Amino acid sequence: MTKQAQNTKLRRPITVTDLYRRKFNVLDFTGQFKALVGCPEVKGSWMIFGDSSQGKTRFMLQMAKYLGNFGRVYINSLEEGESESIKQGFMAERMEERKGSVYLLDNEPLDTVRQHLIKRNAPDFVFFDSVQFMKGFTEADYIDLLNDFPDKLFIFTSHVQGKEPKGSLAQAIRYRSFVKLYVHQYRVFPQSRYGGGLHYDIWPEKAQAFYLKTA
């Protein structure tokens, strides 16, 4: 045993009673979103991943709008930035209904996002769209982000290679995420530590037409 280990003050182990008394910041999801992921905690990360033109961005906006019921949401648009395409997505989802809680960041670097996170009116939820456009972002940066802001929820989108998140960084984030959401043909297939488990149709008409045809 090293001298440093000998001098480290041990924390008292958490008893069952301690754990049961602890109140966590759990979101009271209802309806389709509860069926999808259960009632999640504001902590750690999620990942939304899928191929292009499958509904990934539209689902991100739908989730952001829903989370706007529970707190302040920032969407860091790294691929599209402040653009006509993002504007059309916001309009299609009637994001003006959350104009006091959902905000767009125009391709902001991590250091700037961190500055937002320490402000008095800091966001509760931050989307990064997408991992592949996060210049210089490493797995160590990701872990530091979670450790430095344990009371925030970070949601990353990712392109795929086959059916897997593209690249080692995206794979690492997916591995550590509490909720994993795979998007294919306008349908979301979840894996969640909070329950749920039912698929969610981003665009019901298109999703149902595809899956009925392939059933």
Domains defined along the chain, listed by start: 25-214 (3.40.50.300)
**Whole-number pLDDT of residue 142:** 98
Greatest CA separation for the chain: 66
In angstroms, what is the C-alpha Rg of the chain? 19
**Cis bond before residue 168 (omega within 30° of 0):** no
Cβ neighbours of 22 (radius 10 Å): 8
- Please tell me the distance from the alpha carbon of residue 198 to that of residue 58, in angstroms, as a whole number: 19
Q: According to the model, what pLDDT value does residue 4 have?
A: 58
pTM of the model: 0.94
Cα 67 to Cα 48, 74, 123, 164, 202, distances in angstroms: 15, 10, 11, 26, 16
Instruction: Please report the pLDDT score of residue 3 as a whole number.
Output: 60
Predicted confidence at residue 2, as pLDDT, reads 59
Q: Are 155 and 126 in contact (CB under 8 A)?
A: yes
153 token code pair: 């929820």
Q: Mean pLDDT in runs of 10 for the chain (215 residues)?
A: 66 94 96 98 98 95 98 97 96 97 97 96 97 96 98 98 96 98 98 98 95 81
Give the span between the Cα atoms of 213 and 71, in whole angstroms: 39
DSSP state, 193? T
Q: How far is C-alpha 128 from the chain's CA centre?
A: 8
Are 190 and 199 in contact by the 8 Å Cβ rule? The answer is: yes
